[in-house]
Amino acid sequence: MDKYAVIGNPVAHSKSPQIHEAFAHATGQHMSYVRLWAPIGGFADAVETFARDGGRGLNVTVPFKLDAFAVAHTASDRAQAAGACNTLRRDADGWYADNTDGAGIVRDLTVNLDVPLAGRDVLVLGAGGAARGILVPVFAERPCSVTLCNRTAEKAQALALHFAARGPIVALTSGALAGRSFDVVINATSAGLAGDVALPWPAGLFRPGSFAYDMVYADAPTAFLRWARAHGAPRSSDGLGMLIEQAAESFFLWRGVRPETAHIFPMLRPAR
């Protein structure tokens, strides 16, 4: 049986085994999928051992997305642009790196939530790994504009420069956002995850019809979603759908079969 795993530290909380087992069952693929814990600094050894034991592919989670990119022999364009990898596939010549996070968020927005990005003004809050990971697929939708805003302004400027050839992108400080509004606002920061900070963005970011999307997910509304609703976002979602859709994209990369995702939502969140 072909072996797959999600590798991380910590990894015990990961919902990926549940999702991939459901995909495998629904598509009739014979494969196993487990959680693989690796020590910090021990990623490369762990994945080579996994490959020697017959491992065919890995999902990669915190904090190993850069290590995963570094161990790969080849990488997709979207993984190269992100400089980070959430999916590894074992090929004859070594590991192939991909990054399916951007495809995941784009599919959740455009297909599941009916929020097109084409021709829209998109604001991405944050300029860390999460933001980098989604920009190539976001630009493939041909948005009217992408604005980056980050607490550390230089990081947003550097990211805007890095992606400038992909489409219209600007970096603005939080102060410069005042008076501007957007169709889609994506939270790619970790602000508020610990639940203890005032979120730093100005009011007025949302228009009638705007959509607020948090890349993280939780059983209760996240701090960003609570903030967005309190500041007039008419529609919003957390990132559970992104998690499911990035998994489907990884599954397709490994198995060549695209699984249906609709039945996974009620499995992970009965009331969605």
Closest approach of ligand ATR to the CB of residue 31, in Å: 28
Q: Which residue's CB is nearer to ligand ATR, number 151 or number 229?
A: 151
* 206-214, strands of its sheet edge to edge: 169-172, 145-149, 121-125, 182-187, 206-214, 235-237
Residue span binding ligand ATR (CB under 6 A) among the ranges 6-14, 25-33, 105-113, 184-192: 184-192
Residue span binding ligand ATR (CB under 6 A) among the ranges 51-59, 189-197, 222-230, 251-259: 189-197
Residue span binding ligand ATR (CB under 6 A) among the ranges 38-46, 176-184, 188-196, 245-253: 188-196
Distance in angstroms (rounded) separating the CA atoms of residues 240 and 15: 10
Amino acid at 153: A
Residue pair 68/85 in contact (Cβ under 8 Å)? The answer is yes
Report the residue count for the chain. Answer: 272
Closest approach of ligand ATR to the CB of residue 153, in Å: 8
Q: Which residue's CB is nearer to ligand ATR, number 1 or number 197?
A: 197
| Residue 65 a catalytic site member | yes
Distance in angstroms (rounded) separating the CA atoms of residues 251 and 6: 12
Residue 130 makes contact with ligand ATR by CB under 6 A: yes
Burial class (CB in 10 A: 0-12, 13-18, 19+), 67: buried
Give the residues lining the site for ligand ATR (CB under 6 A).
126-130, 150-152, 155, 188-191, 197, 200
